[in-house]
Structure 1
């Protein structure tokens, strides 16, 4: 009896060690996806200027950012469904290999179309986050899933902070050096996954449901829940305004302050850190003190104050000085999610979260195109005007916040 118990304990310990190694690989993939998103921001204006031999590259930045989002939006359900059919491991290995090859191609791409192609492939491979989340679900007991999904978000946030800083620092030494570093990191993670990552589930033999691959499918649900349309529209607006930072920040920093890659990366990383800290620690206390509606409006006020300072800033230090004000802006979307969850029955929460995820994906496509076009218009006269355009969007959204009612969907 003692022998059996000891053997069972050893098997459990071995399984635990195996799961920990698998989680390390998965979290590394998630972090590298986030690093890849932010890595390109500080160097993209200079890279596009070098390839196109032009000065005003704002439209190209918008197109590249939107292209990345389109590929991620379209292929996230595809990779998720393929992982159900073929297994998580092969899909993850192929996506990691594709990421490594893509960054290597971008490191030496001499023409614009090759950069567009590389960014499209990067968006496709980063769609593996849906597979990573499924893998975590497969190997995690129910009582550990919340903690591990929390780590998922923390790792992604850390990668998004590290990415711009790494891209800015390396980009000052060599414009293509960040891509080489990303290729090496992804190749190392691929090798680790190949030797360490086990399959987490038995592949399904059921026929692939092609309808499940439609990324617009969750949005159809909203038309049956008319009273939720205002909150979804508000979520869409707030998410879209968030796209302006990745699209225009590096252009504005260079035009307004002549920042090099290091300072652009540091400023973007500081912004990301403020947002992460705000969303981690402030929404709960703020909602208790002000309620969801009051917290959302407080977030609006904080963001608008920061945007006004940035629009009129004459020196770079003023941007870093106003960063803490952005902390207030970070509480808006979590509070909106809390408010929205009170309007939806428990049995429909999953569908509703799927709709919000689809809305975020769509804003990642529309936002970069819209704000890069606006920046192209205002750049020569007043680059900081781009931030006032974002403030106008927030002001127009205030009546929508005031119209929301605290009642459940019928």
Structure 2
């Protein structure tokens, strides 16, 4: 516990200008937008490259999602370790510039291999979210970090809402237009950051050197295992992120087949999920967590998330499904609370490695989660299933969160 105590009492850097924090917020939002903006147009673009072969296009779409997640998995620890050694500012700005230039590449390529390379680069450069979290840890007092991380979670939510909407709207004009728009936004944010983003990690608090042996997922796991309770908190975070992938994996198919919702209704309900999540992470976390503490907020969020998924999986009507959204939204308290508790267990010179490890393992959930939930959904609507249960994937997600709650209670006891 000595390591925990010393880390939690370490002084943070002096407060930075609000403009710098606005830049961090938009950087995280644009990282998520980078993922979401191409959702409506990438399948069509791939299909066009393949001469209209829908079957092959479906396989390539899945492969694109996997390589994006793998890029984050491999390079989030690298970026975190680099920021511990050379500072947060250069890593964040270089990643932001790289993402903007990559969008230009995606807008002009005319072959499938080049499109794949561009998507790999997008996964690598959008891994800067780990450094953004480290920046917040540098500049925020421990008791206020949950609220700050909640704002970053809200940025994710906004990117999730705006990305597909922007991509769908511009995709009607041209399949390349969403990429040009994203490039413009990201490069404008890079220019803004050049002027407003100060360094948050003073030279005397940086790591003595960049250790390539530790700047990888295995090195991140070693860091997590070296601090009391940190691996447990990481597992809670990963379990929560894994459960989240049930939504992109089966939501559209589930509500379309069970409730007969139109594309418009599906989009509106998904937007409502995003809006409720933003309200919780940007507003409720700031009010609730200081009053009840990160531990209770985390446990309440996990239980509410599980309850929401159970409602989704068993809802006999669309109205009951929608009623579960506000309950599910309270799940948004989990990640900021876990992040805040984890940062207390690591000294300032290793916050980048910590966030890199958490981001990397979360990306691993993105590699396996969609396939797992899709397989469960497909099995329980097939003739091979012992019982017809189209909501089985949501029930599995709820079970994962309940397991996460049990683990969270034990490691923070």
Which residue number in structure 2 is paired with residue 215 of structure 1? Answer: 217
Q: CA offset at residue 81 of structure 1?
A: 2.1
**Contact map agreement 2:37 2:163 (CA 8 A) in 1:** yes
**Structure ID, larger Rg:** 1
Moved more, 76-85 or 203-212: 203-212
* Superimposed CA distance per residue, residues 143-192 of structure 1 (whole angstroms, 9 cap, x where no aligned partner): 86565444333333222222222222222333222111101111211222
Contact 1:219 1:358 in 2 (8 A): no
Q: Give the direction of change, closer, same or farther, for the CA distance of 1:396–1:258 in structure 2 (3 Å limit).
A: closer
Number of aligned pairs? 381
In the TM superposition, residue 99 of structure 1 has moved relative to its aligned partner by 0.9
The counterpart of 1:25, out of the listed 23, 26, 49, is 23
Q: What is the match of residue 47 of structure 2? A: 49
Deviates more, 1:177-186 or 1:127-136: 127-136
* 1:228 to 1:167, Cα distance in 2 relative to 1, 3 A: same
Aligned counterpart for 2:241 among listed residues 239, 246, 249: 239
Cα pair 2:157 2:277 within 8 Å, conserved: no
- Answer with 42-51 or 175-184: which moved more: 42-51
Range with greater deviation from structure 2 (196-205 or 234-243): 196-205
Higher relative contact order, structure no. (Cα contacts within 8 Å, ≥ 6 residues apart): 2
For 2:403 and 2:151, the matched residues in 1 are separated by 33
SS of the residue corresponding to residue 54 of structure 2 reads coil
Residues 238-279 of structure 1: CA deviation (Å, up to 9, x unaligned): 43231132345567789997966x766544322222334456
2:4 equivalent in structure 1: none
Within a 5 Å distance, the mapping from 1:235-274 to structure 2 comes to 236-249=238-251, 266-274=268-276
Deviation at 1:82, TM superposition (A): 1.9
1:122 Cα deviation from its structure 2 partner: 1.1
SS of structure 1 residue aligned to 2:391:
helix
Provide the residue aligned with 1:100 in structure 2.
100
In 2, Cα distance between the equivalents of 1:196 and 1:402? 40
What aligned pairs does 1:144-155 form with structure 2 within 5 A after superposition? 147-155=147-155
Query: What is the Cα deviation at residue 123 of structure 1?
Result: 1.2
CA contact (8 A) 1:45 1:250 kept: no
Closer, same or farther: CA 229–336 of 1 in aligned 2, 3 Å: same
Matches within 5 A, 1:88-167: 88-139=88-139, 147-167=147-167
Listed as ranges, the gaps of 5+ residues in structure 1 are: 1-14
Gap change, CA 1:108 and 1:373, over 3 Å in 2: farther
- Residue number in structure 1 paired with 2:396: 393
1 CA distance for matches of 2:146 and 2:297? 25
Q: Distance in 2 between matches of 1:136 and 1:357?
A: 15
- How far apart are the structure 2 equivalents of 1:403 and 1:394? 15
Give the C-alpha shift of residue 236 in structure 1. Answer: 4.3
Structural RMSD (CA) = 4.8
1:303 and 2:313 matched:
no
State how far apart, in whole Å, the 1-side matches of 2:382 and 2:374 are.
13
Aligned to 1:327: 326
In 1, Cα distance between the equivalents of 2:24 and 2:270?
25
Deviation at 1:363, TM superposition (A): 0.9
Partners of 2:175 and 2:330 lie apart in 1 by 36
2: CA distance, partners of 1:38 / 1:386? 29
- 1:181-232 deviation digits (Å, cap 9, x = unpaired): 1011112112222344344455558331223312233445788999999987
Q: Structure 2, unaligned stretches of length 5 or more?
A: 1-13
Where does residue 187 of structure 2 map in the other structure? 187
